[in-house]
Chain A
Amino acid sequence: MSVLVYTESEQGKFKKVAFEVASYARAIADQLGTSVTAVSINAEDPSLLGTYGVTKVLNIKDSKLDTFNAKSYAHVINQAAAEEGSKVVVVSSSADSKYLAPLLAIELKAGYASNVVALPTNLSPFTVKRTAFTNKAFNETSISTSTKLVGLSNNSFGIKEHITEAEVTHYSPSIPDNGVHVESVDKVTDKVTIADADIVVSGGRGLKGPENWGMIEELADVLGAATACSKPVSDLGWRPHGEHVGQTGKPVAANLYIAIGISGAIQHLAGINASKVKLVINTDPEAPFFKAADYGVIGDAFEVVPALIEKLKAFKAQNA
């Protein structure tokens, strides 16, 4: 009856979302008065999950699962749910989880709620709050099937420590032949990806040219942040396309989004509005971004950013 959670890993390392969904599963298990079982596929150190309240890990090591495959992974998670008698299954909102979740829902005969942003508000009927209308509204949805599949929105619940001793058990489910084969993967190898970063530092046309990105990178370094840019900057070739955030670029759901020299076109704001706190630095007090931001500095980025870097270094030294 434990809550089952799929904890994603990549090249043997857990993704950040794995710890968030584990924390969330732990909190649901506390509501239900039960334990948490994680499904781990080819991760090197599954016992790490104990830090986030996972009591048992079904540890799968199989080279057939080295490359992500939605159908095989869904089949494996379904078997794990049957093994554990789980009635609540939790996945993330990564591209891979959103790919496998509807297939898993069919196998589990479970109702599926995606983009969930909080713990269930009610256990009977099982009711969750999710985003709808592209972040313009929330929707309370109840799941009426006996098994429930919950897709947690990234960076909505947070990672919460709950030190437990995780019992790691070797698990070898049957793996079906599947019809979709991966030929090649083309992936950027940033140090911190925009999807994973707590803080994102983003620059716009106000920076005047690619030669001025040094201070953006330095600010990002001080904060342990990912760097990003607006659409015109990537269109002009100042920065690589992979850094472009906004409606047609990558979405950002960081804790802190810092926009420097970005006016705040509606398409840009749509892409970053899931971020919790927004700071804008711009010379133009009429820039639309000031209406969307939590904190603002009206000033020249070439003066404000270097000064801010010094202040943050001092702050970090004091709080280290």
Chain B
Amino acid sequence: MKILVCISHVPDTTSKINFSEGDTKFDTNGVQFIINPNDEYGLTRAMWFKEKQGATVDVVNVGGPETEPTLRKALALGADGAIRVNTPALDGFAVAEQLAKVVKDGAYDLVIAGRESIDYNGGMVPGMLAGLTNANFINTCISLDIDGTNVKAVREIDGGKETVNTTLPLVIGAQKGLVEESDLRIPNMRGIMMARKKPLTIVEPIEASTETVSVKFEKPTPKGAVTLVSPDNLDELVNLLHTEAKVI
């Protein structure tokens, strides 16, 4: 089985979010970048398929040279090879088109991508990629088992979960729950040394069109201070909830 894991290069979850160039660009100044957490759950599950079922695992990113340390980290975690499509990630559709070409050229059976990136939160690449490559698609996947080309998976739904079956080729949207938190790994020295020797192939982009344009960003207005009400004056609280907050 050939697995491709799509890796987004995103700011660390604790990063301060600021914007530059007239609020049109994310300000990367002083920001640490990581593998998108939803992708990391997927990569960890892919490593299980590699170790238990002999799958080969490649990772891919659509982006500039600045994303290479993130791909090297994925190699250090055990991926066999990495591909970088040398073009900025302008929108979800353009990224899905670039990835579709990689999937077709590499004849991958299973593509794993995070349900959404924690920066843009678009949640569109896995589904669009499935649509473009005519593969089956399971989103918000929290369990995945494969036997030959038969797939059994669990999808998280509002208020519960759903067990489904399907066949390869398949794209999944990965998220928390796909593996145990304790299964997540930190690259060790041997992994980091080996990652240096593994192939990181740079592929030139195909001509792809964007469908959306990010115009600008803004930060939410800071929240005002809490209004404290004395426990002896709960009439006032009910009144505030009714007349000021208008929620009861």
Chain A residues lying within 8 Å of B216, measured Cβ to Cβ, are 139-140
State in angstroms the CA–CA spacing of A96 and B119 once bound together.
Answer: 22
The reply to whether A303 and B165 form a contact with Cβ atoms under 8 Å apart is no
Q: Which of A142, A198, A315 contacts B242 (CB 8 A)?
A: A315
Chain A residues lying within 8 Å of B219, measured Cβ to Cβ, are 136-138
The reply to whether A297 and B229 form a contact with Cβ atoms under 8 Å apart is yes
State in angstroms the CA–CA spacing of A303 and B234 once bound together.
Answer: 11
Which one of A162-170, A209-217, A306-314 is at the B interface?
Answer: A306-314
Chain B residues lying within 8 Å of A131, measured Cβ to Cβ, are 121
Within 8 Å of chain A (Cβ to Cβ): is B167? yes
The reply to whether A185 and B92 form a contact with Cβ atoms under 8 Å apart is no
The reply to whether B214 and A106 form a contact with Cβ atoms under 8 Å apart is no
Interface 0/1 of B77-117, CB less than 8 Å to A: 00000000000000111001000000000000000000000
Within 8 Å of chain A (Cβ to Cβ): is B238? yes
Interface 0/1 of B204-248, CB less than 8 Å to A: 000000111111111110011011111100110110111001011
Within 8 Å of chain A (Cβ to Cβ): is B60? no
Within 8 Å of chain B (Cβ to Cβ): is A123? no
A262 CB, min distance to chain B CBs, angstroms: 14
Question: Residue on B with the closest CB to A292?
Answer: B223
The reply to whether B93 and A291 form a contact with Cβ atoms under 8 Å apart is no
Within 8 Å of chain B (Cβ to Cβ): is A65? no
B201 CB, min distance to chain A CBs, angstroms: 27
The reply to whether B137 and A180 form a contact with Cβ atoms under 8 Å apart is yes
The reply to whether A186 and B215 form a contact with Cβ atoms under 8 Å apart is no
State in angstroms the CA–CA spacing of A291 and B227 once bound together.
Answer: 10
A233 CB, min distance to chain B CBs, angstroms: 19
Q: A315 with B213: in contact, given A105-B93, A136-B219, A137-B17 (CB under 8 Å)?
A: no
The reply to whether B123 and A296 form a contact with Cβ atoms under 8 Å apart is no
Q: A132 with B217: in contact, given A114-B122, A312-B238 (CB under 8 Å)?
A: yes
Within 8 Å of chain A (Cβ to Cβ): is B70? no
Interface residues on B, range: 35 or more
Within 8 Å of chain B (Cβ to Cβ): is A286? no
Within 8 Å of chain A (Cβ to Cβ): is B118? yes
Q: What's the dominant secondary structure at chain A's contact region?
A: mixed
The reply to whether A139 and B131 form a contact with Cβ atoms under 8 Å apart is no
Question: Residue on A with the closest CB to B127?
Answer: A102
Interface 0/1 of A19-58, CB less than 8 Å to B: 0000000000000000000000000000000000000000
A65 CB, min distance to chain B CBs, angstroms: 15
The reply to whether A290 and B137 form a contact with Cβ atoms under 8 Å apart is no
State in angstroms the CA–CA spacing of A181 and B247 once bound together.
Answer: 41
- Which residues of chain A (98-124) have a CB below 8 Å from chain B? 98-103, 105-107, 110-115
Question: Residue on B with the closest CB to A8?
Answer: B158
Q: A311 with B235: in contact, given A102-B124, A103-B131, A181-B165 (CB under 8 Å)?
A: yes
State in angstroms the CA–CA spacing of A248 and B13 once bound together.
Answer: 14
Chain B residues lying within 8 Å of A315, measured Cβ to Cβ, are 238, 242, 248
Q: Which of B11, B19, B137, B229 contacts A103 (CB 8 A)?
A: B137
Within 8 Å of chain B (Cβ to Cβ): is A182? yes
The reply to whether B218 and A98 form a contact with Cβ atoms under 8 Å apart is no
The reply to whether B157 and A187 form a contact with Cβ atoms under 8 Å apart is yes
28 pairs of residues in contact across A and B, judged by CB atoms under 8 Å? A95-B156, A98-B123, A100-B127, A101-B124, A101-B127, A102-B128, A103-B127, A103-B130, A112-B124, A139-B216, A141-B212, A142-B215, A143-B211, A143-B212, A180-B164, A183-B165, A184-B163, A185-B162, A195-B159, A223-B248, A256-B247, A277-B241, A293-B226, A295-B228, A295-B229, A295-B237, A296-B227, A297-B228
Q: With A114-B123, A186-B162, A188-B160 given, can you name 15 additional A-B contacts, CB distance below 8 Å?
A: A95-B158, A102-B125, A112-B212, A131-B121, A132-B119, A133-B17, A138-B219, A185-B160, A185-B161, A186-B160, A186-B163, A187-B159, A223-B248, A255-B247, A308-B237
Closest 7 CB pairs of A and B: A102-B127, A111-B211, A187-B160, A106-B131, A299-B231, A256-B247, A179-B136
Residues of chain A having any CB pair with chain B under 8 Å: 70-71, 94-96, 98-103, 105-107, 110-115, 125, 127, 131-145, 179-188, 190, 193, 195, 198-199, 223, 242, 248, 255-256, 276-277, 279-280, 290-300, 303-304, 307-308, 311-312, 315, 319
